[in-house]
Structure 1
């Protein structure tokens, strides 16, 4: 019985030592985007979405729009200038919300449905400066204009 107690104590001590040897882990602050899917009604050429920073540090976000075909892999996209976002880059304080304007600039009328993806990237910040691996968080929001 005493051996079992020592064994459990030794395991706890070993676990504590292993945790102490781990490098310091810094959690990245979060960014939330809403809505998570955008459908623009007939004859409208603009919409908006909201980006909200979480955590304790400022967040830098980069926004852009890419062309996309529904039903395809969301990573299969191509560059486009038919839809733009404003602002394309922003620095958000903790818990700050930003309303992003999304405008279809293409002159030709929509025929059927045109789909894109709004990419919102939270770029690595100061809290990741000393880390060998830096995390970039991406939100990919489907955006479709209907005729």
Structure 2
């Protein structure tokens, strides 16, 4: 496997991550993560463990009728069985409320990956918020 192949597989993993959230497919979403993943910046506390994180996301999605996560190409560095990437994201959230409305997030994902048995998984995932807008 070449570094270019690994970068493509990591890009595909990030796209699978976004698609799983938008499709509310928690089994596919869980498959993106290493069991011991560390999640930073998505709230006040660090979340440790894939199952805990997926349960948190499942409950967060209850506030929305739909989401769409648009990702930039990932700027990825591969070093053996580890990698890191910067991926910019614009996420639209359609609010589940009587008046409707949307919440838009502009952010950067800083993500570390680990490869086991030729499969890349997210080992650490950090959200760096650049801006937000809620309408109305």
The normalised TM-score by structure 1 is: 0.28
User: Greater share of helix residues, 1 or 2?
Assistant: 2
Larger Cα-atom Rg: 1
TM-score normalized with structure 2 length:
0.30
Higher RCO (C-alpha 8 Å, min separation 6): 1
Name the structure where strand makes up a greater proportion of residues: 2
